Structure 1
Amino acid sequence: MKLVHVFDAYCGWSHGFSATLRETGARHPELPVEVVSGGLFTGGRRVSIREFGYVQGANAQIAELTGAEFGEAYERLIADGSFVKDSEAAARGMAALRRAAPERAVELATNLQKAFYVDGLSPSDPATYRKPARAAGLDPETVVAAFQAPEARTEASADFRRTAGLGVTGFPTLLAVAGERVLPPARGHATADDIDRRLASLS
């Protein structure tokens, strides 16, 4: 069995799930975890943040429920409402990080969300990827180059197709995959204890 974490770097609930995801990985080192970018803000949903209106309220709810941090630098980044969430760019960045250390995809995904939601760095900016790369002890320039390479766009598109193929429409979704069986230990908010109970019921 393996776990598949389908998330979006621009999804506040995915950010709120970061601690649970890390804890689950620590509790179950025997289970490989595949991290897939879901593509929440693409096409017609790629608009300025002011079009959503509910961002601050949702973030407050996420912080209260999960303890996730939304930093002052992030608040400054989105303050005037002009910031555009582009999930295709974020998926290219995740692909670049994943390519550098595929076995550490969970760490890299949560580092990327911290760079945005705490440090206020845009996942659409190539320079942003130096931060999560350095935090993981990777060569930052290699990751930036990978973000800018055509292969990253191809991998982002493959992630979106994989998300659709898995039937995932909301983020985050954690799936347990065993052969042809695909079962969801978590959709949205869950604790590591919740996931443990659901995994136990699958075995």
Structure 2
Amino acid sequence: MNNSIKIIYVYDALCGWCYGFSKVIKECYETHKHEFEFEVLSGGMMIGDRVGSINNIAPYIKSAYQTVENTTGVKFGEAYLRVLQDGSMILNSEMPSIALSLFKEYFPDQSVLFAHEIQNALYFDGREPNQIDTYRNIAVNHGIDPDEFEVKMKMESSKEAAYYDFALAKQLRVESYPAVLIQSSETSFHLIAKGYTDSATLELRIENVLKEIENLNV
């Protein structure tokens, strides 16, 4: 593994375009996981005064989800579409972000998979982002004791870790999701995806950045 190269994926669990991109970043991870380190950061799209009912933005989502499907090939589940019609779900990025930051303490090298599973739970299975069972179920799939995971999710230190990720995402100047960066040194970052990007384009950009880094090191 090239320890000097890290691929950083900045997403938000409640971002529909990130759900559309989820398969692409998972493929990228599967292709390069033995070459590079991967890290996922939550952006904190819906926190503070941005937290609100899905009903507030349902008219937008009802047309936007079809655009995401047509562009990316991903499918939103019937269960999620029922949630959209119902309109009672509260959109808050905090709990899924806490779950991700906690998971990274167990398996930091598998955070791409965990983020992928969170989005499938929300956008395909129609699970609630603010219900602890959503994350207990995913933890079990990775061999983590769900009771232990739940206890840790409720700890202040886990919340602080999530907000630290939000701060890192801001520091990287990521304001929209999904975004992917290659980190080649402590201070060197290369943006390789901003918004939905297909697999072929992402691979080409990785290749180009690696060549650029190689040329700098000659």
Does the alignment pair 1:65 with 2:65? Answer: no
Pairing partner for 1:178 from 168, 179, 184: 184
Distance in 1 of aligned mates of 2:64 and 2:152: 33
Q: Would the aligned equivalents of 2:7 and 2:38 in 1 still touch at CA under 8 Å?
A: yes
Distance 2:178 2:39 in 1: 13
**8 Å contact kept, 1:7–1:14:** yes
Matched, 1:155 2:180: no
Q: Is 1:84 paired with 2:90?
A: yes
1:22 pairs, out of 23, 26, 45, with 26
State the match for 1:46 in structure 2: 51
Query: Which residues of structure 2 form unaligned runs of 5+?
Result: 211-218
Counterpart in the other structure of 2:37:
32
Question: SS of 2:52's equivalent?
Answer: coil
Match of 1:193 among 192, 200, 208: 200
1:188 partner amino acid: G
Equivalent pair of 1:115/1:131 in contact (CA under 8 Å):
no
Q: CA deviation at 1:76?
A: 2.0
Q: After alignment, is 68-77 or 169-178 more displaced?
A: 68-77
Farther off after superposition, 96-105 or 157-166: 96-105
1:44: Cα distance to partner?
2.1
When Rg is computed on C-alpha atoms for both structures, the one with the higher figure is 2
Deviations 1:121-152 (A, max 9, x none): 11211111122223333332232222222121
CA contact (8 A) 1:2 1:31 kept: yes
Q: How many Å apart are 1:100 and its aligned residue?
A: 2.5
Structure 1 position 193, deviation (Å):
1.3
Are the aligned partners of 2:90 and 2:130 in contact in 1 as well (CA < 8 Å)?
A: no
Deviation track 1:172-199 (CA, whole Å, cap 9, x = no partner) reads: 1011111122111111111221111111
Any idea what the Cα deviations from partners look like across 1:67-104, whole Å, max 9, x if unmatched?
22211111222322222110112211212222222111
Taking structure 1 as the reference length, the TM-score comes to: 0.94
Secondary structure (helix, strand or coil) at the match of 1:65 reads: helix
Corresponding residue of 1:139: 145
Quick check: 179-188 or 4-13, which moved more? 179-188
Point out 4+ residue stretches in structure 1 off by more than 4 angstroms. none
1:82 alignment partner AA: S
In the alignment, what sits opposite 2:213?
none
Provide the C-alpha distance between the structure 2 equivalents of 1:15 and 1:115, rounded to a whole number of angstroms: 10
Q: Counterpart in 2 of 1:3?
A: 7
CA contact (8 A) 1:37 1:159 kept: yes
- Structure-2 separation of matches of 1:89 and 1:104: 19
Which residue number corresponds to residue 122 of structure 2?
A: 116
